[in-house]
């Protein structure tokens, strides 16, 4: 007895092939639509417009603890009272707000520190944080 292998070729009918192609195209299209809805070019996170580091102008040591910071831009104003904490060196302010800011830092035992015209730009979604160092001068 001899073994023989018969070759069969399976080919779906024309209508079935077209249905497979349409199904594949629709599935891919729905995947792209879902991906576009999930993609948000602007993240839902937030970012401080200003990062203000407060130091003693003589020693260079951090003196943010116990200070008060006021930032303003037009009608916007934010006051930050920094608690007595030796670990605080930098404070973030004006979250999610590009603009042109004035900053006033006060702390007992030091002269008031003021800076105007601190411009914060946007990256299209969030502000590009500007780092500012307030060097407080001790009072005599």
Q: Which of 89, 93, 79, 92 is nearest to 136 (CA)?
A: 89
pLDDT at 1: 53
- SS (HEC) of 87-124: CCCEEEEEECCCEEEEEEEECCCECCEEEEEEEECECC
User: CB–CB of 48/78 below 8 Å?
Assistant: no
What is the share, in percent, of the chain residues with pLDDT greater than 70? 70
Residues 33-83 pLDDT 10s: 444 456 667 767 889 999 999 999 999 999 999 999 999 999 999 999 998
The pair of three-digit structure tokens given for residue 94, joined into one six-digit string: 């004006």
Greatest Cα pair distance, the chain, in angstroms, is 115
Domain boundaries, the chain: 12-41, 48-136
Query: pTM value?
Result: 0.69
CA distance 102 to 94: 11
Hey, what CATH topology would domain 48-136 get?
A: Immunoglobulin-like (2.60.40)
Q: In the predicted model, what is the mean pLDDT of residues 8-15?
A: 53
For residue range 24-33, what is the model confidence (pLDDT) as tens digits?
A: 666 665 555 4
C-alpha–C-alpha distance, residues 27 and 35, integer Å: 12
pLDDT in tens, 117-133: 999 999 988 999 999 99
Average confidence score pLDDT of the chain:
82
70-123 confidence digits (pLDDT tens): 999 999 999 999 988 777 789 999 999 999 999 999 999 999 999 999 999 999
């Amino acid at each position: 007895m001899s073994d023989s292998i018969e070759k069969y070729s399976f080919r779906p009918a024309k209508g079935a092939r077209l249905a497979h192609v349409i199904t594949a195209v629709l599935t891919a299209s729905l995947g792209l639509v879902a991906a576009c809805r999930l993609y948000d070019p602007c993240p839902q996170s937030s970012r401080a417009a200003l990062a203000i580091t407060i130091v003693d102008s003589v020693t260079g040591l951090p003196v943010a603890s116990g200070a008060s910071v006021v930032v303003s831009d037009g009608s916007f104003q934010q006051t930050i009272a920094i608690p007595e904490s030796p670990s605080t060196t930098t404070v973030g302010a004006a979250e999610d707000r590009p603009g042109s800011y004035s900053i006033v830092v006060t702390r007992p035992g030091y002269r008031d520190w003021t800076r105007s015209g601190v411009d914060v730009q946007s990256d299209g979604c969030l502000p590009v944080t500007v780092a500012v160092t307030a060097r407080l001068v001790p009072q005599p």
